Structure 1
Amino acid sequence: MSKTEGRFSGKTVVVTGASRGIGAAIARRFAREGAAILVSANEARVEEVAAAIVHEGGRAASFLCDVTDKAAVTALYDAAEAQFGGVDVSVQNAGVITIAKIEDMTEADWDTTMDVNTKGVFLCCQEAIRRIRSHGRGGRLINTASGQARQGFIYTPHYAASKFGVVGLTQSLAKEVAREGITVNAFCPGIIDTDMWAYNDAAWGKLLGSYEPGELMAEWVRGIPMARAGSGEDVAGLVTFLASEDAAYITGQTINVDGGLIMS
């Protein structure tokens, strides 16, 4: 048995944005370590993630949810409690990005990005705190920020603003709930081999020069000290650590998981 096997037995974990990429990897990792998982996203393929976890012997269910809708968020946590019991860990991972020159960026681009990436984190944290308080045994909130919460990048001012907002929200909530045994932390993934980064490579590549698909990402990866893109499992390792008892004295922090791309 590995030293982490079963460390989340008896725990209920909610993961948003879990239909693919980082969110799906986080959910699978928690399930392997014994947690009951409610995986959520706004697309039906999240059901496949839950089914795969169950097939592998884990406990999981799925729930379609728009994290910008307060009633839907309330229903998400209702479902978690109904199926698995009180929520212990909530991972706010749902996120979107668009890439465009400022003159081409629409108000809708701005509003959607801020609503999902920042308001969605707020609504889920608000509901998760209410549920964790109700059972009185403490808990963990973990929010997905970005390397762009450290340094905004070209053609994505709305995305950078939304992720800087996640860091501020994390710090503020951490101070509010610390004495209740609730920790609130965030993480900043760098270049991770996911569908989102395939979009990023194509969209930035078109605006920054005549890059063929994959060329720009490969160029950026060469600038990472560890000389590789990250994986969802790389991120999941950090997230499960932050959710564990080993991280009981860590709160209000934002941790980079990017192979050394940004050192701060």
Structure 2
Amino acid sequence: MSVRFQDKVVVVTGGSRGIGKSIAERFAREGARICVAANEALVHETAQALRDAGAQAISVVLDVTDKVQVKAMYEQVARELGEVDVSVQNAGVITVARLEDLTEAEWDKVMAVNTKGVFLCCQEATLRMRAAGKKGRLINTASGQARQGFIFTPHYAASKFGVVGITQSLAKELAKTGITVNAFCPGIITTDMWAYNDAAWGKLMGDYQPGELMAEWVAAIPMGRAGTGEDVAGLVSFFASDDAAYITGQTVNVDGGMFMS
């Protein structure tokens, strides 16, 4: 594999597992210095695995909804790895509930992590990129639900439509600086979140046993399989590369053909 990102500094939030972990692993294999951040101690194990594989990596336990913590993370990255070149805003949460059961607390948490968290990280990363004179990359995790909302998750759909709006707005504002801002919409990916989705939606949509509803959905994907974290990481690494220097404000589906737009 090439070393396109030799000596580049990459931050990945939500990097302890799933898509974020795969993204961090891809950048590490291509020579980047990595900060993986998440709201759980597991992120330290992820960083250690990256170091064991030969990468320079640090880990931060982080609440992306807290501006003070976000600022402190990027300051730590600058001290220990160098100023950020690529920031991947991947931290996200979901809950599934009927309209009458969906609480304000659930709404507020999902919007705060998925949308405010993206904004705060983009804001701080941009400040540091501009101060360092870097033509950096901001890459945001949206969702298939940024294309079309789905039953029992209006708060999640709203948060992910919001990610696309943030991406487009910042792309226009930052275009003349050389900083690009793009997003991606993963479909059904084999992660812990999708194991939860299968169980939670399955309970509300019928008498499904674990795995049955997801199997139905996967069967309807034109490419005939669920995606992997590696499928997503390939697109993210492209967005971060010099090959994508003239691409900004875009949101690309990674879903095997579920949504074609």
1:207, CA displacement in angstroms? 0.3
Q: Deviations over 1:69-105 (max 9, x none)?
A: 0000001101110111110000000000000000000
2:222 matches 1:230? no
Question: Which TM-score applies when normalising by structure 1?
Answer: 0.98
2:62 matches 1:65? yes
Question: Which TM-score applies when normalising by structure 2?
Answer: 0.99
Which of 50, 74, 78 in structure 1 is aligned with 2:47?
Answer: 50
SS at match of 2:253: strand
Which of 126, 131, 139 in structure 1 is aligned with 2:128?
Answer: 131
Q: Which residue of 2 aligns with 1:38?
A: 35
Structure 2: distance between partners of 1:249 and 1:106: 42
Moved beyond 3 Å, runs of 4+: none
Structure 2: distance between partners of 1:11 and 1:86: 9
Alignment of 1:144-155 (within 5 A): 144-155=141-152
Q: Deviations over 1:211-249 (max 9, x none)?
A: 000000000000001000000000000000000000000
Which of 235, 241, 245 in structure 2 is aligned with 1:244?
Answer: 241
Which letter maps to 1:201?
Answer: D
SS at match of 2:36: strand
2:255 matches 1:258? yes
Percentage identity across paired residues of the two chains? 72
Structure 2 portions without partners, runs of 5+: none
Which of 108, 111, 117 in structure 1 is aligned with 2:108?
Answer: 111
1:59, CA displacement in angstroms? 1.0
Which of 174, 182, 185 in structure 2 is aligned with 1:185?
Answer: 182
Which of 86, 104, 110 in structure 1 is aligned with 2:83?
Answer: 86
Structure 1 portions without partners, runs of 5+: none
Which letter maps to 1:221?
Answer: V
Which letter maps to 1:96?
Answer: V
1:137, CA displacement in angstroms? 2.3
Aligned length: 261
